[in-house]
Amino acid sequence: MLKTFVSALRPSLVMTAGFALLLGGAYPLAITAAAQALFPHQANGSLIERNGRVIGSDLLAQGFTAPGYFHPRPSAANYDASASAGSNLGPASAALAQRIAKDATALRAQGYPDVPPAMVTTSASGLDPHISPEAALLQAPRVAQARHMPVERVEALVRAAIETPLAGVLGENRINVLRLNLALDGAGHAGA
């Protein structure tokens, strides 16, 4: 009986160890090596450097608040990547409705008559680095005034920053806020 058990156990242990090495070691190493060789920027977090210093990532929103910069969507994670999460508040939540109404009222008080949903709603991760072109164009007059630039120049930068849907069908037109703000800084007018 013991001999039968041991003879049945041995192949199971060998298969478990083999698959552990294959799927827990060799496969992840091969995929990591392929990603590093084919897509090094993306494999390393899509980090953006300026003057040899990492200033952000294409994949994570930052909380820009100065008037001379475009502002991202609100963040339920306070733009903290280690706390990535949505608010978990559903569409029937009174707390969510109050927060959205408060944010919309604050934006209207700043002179935005029509507030796009992306300016008052958070993304599922709380770290969406994109805003809609409409949300960016809405902010263009404020940014232009703070930077002492013609609004047409800022709007041109917004239009140049529009990313189109993948393959023309997957997703929506969007603008990476960090990339747009870097383009503004490169335009020669300091952000306030």
Read off the tokens for 187: 């335009």
Q: Is residue 192 predicted with pLDDT exceeding 70? A: no
Distance CA 166, CA 173 (A): 9
Q: What is the mean pLDDT of residues 134-159?
A: 94
Domain that includes residue 65, residue range: 46-186
183: pLDDT strictly greater than 70: yes
- Is 151 in contact with 140 (CB distance < 8 Å)? yes
The pLDDT tens digits of the residues spanning 38-59 come to 999 889 889 998 888 998 898 8
Closest CA to 73 of 133, 134, 117, 137: 117
pLDDT of residue 68: 94
- Give the range among 19-23, 99-103, 145-149, 158-162 with minimum mean pLDDT: 99-103
Alpha carbons 51 and 94: distance in angstroms, whole number: 46
Per-residue model confidence (pLDDT) at position 188: 64
Residue 191 lies in a domain: no
Taking the C-alpha atoms of residue 142 and residue 132, their distance in angstroms, rounded to an integer, is 17
Q: State what percent of residues in the chain have pLDDT above 90.
A: 45
> In this predicted model, what pLDDT tens digit does every residue of 109-122 receive, in sequence order?
888 778 888 888 88
The pLDDT assigned to 2 comes to 77
Same domain? 64 vs 21: no
pLDDT of 179 above 90:
yes
Q: How confident is the model at residue 189 (pLDDT cuts 50, 70, 90)?
A: low
Reported as a pLDDT band with limits 50, 70 and 90, residue 78 is confident
**Residues 9 and 57 both lie in one domain:** no
Tokens linked to 23: 């799927």
- Give yes or no: residues 93 and 169 share one domain: yes
How many structural domains are present in the chain?
Answer: 2
- % of the chain beyond a pLDDT of 70: 97
107 pLDDT above the threshold of 70: yes
Distance CA 2, CA 8 (A): 10
Same domain, 70 and 30: no
CA dist 172 and 166 (Å) reads 8
The C-alpha atoms of residue 15 and residue 95 are separated, in whole angstroms, by 53
How far apart, in whole angstroms, are the C-alpha atoms of residue 130 and residue 184? Answer: 16
Q: How many residues does the chain have?
A: 192
| Domain assignment of residue 150, yes or no | yes
Closest to 61 (Cα-Cα) out of 122, 141, 137: 122
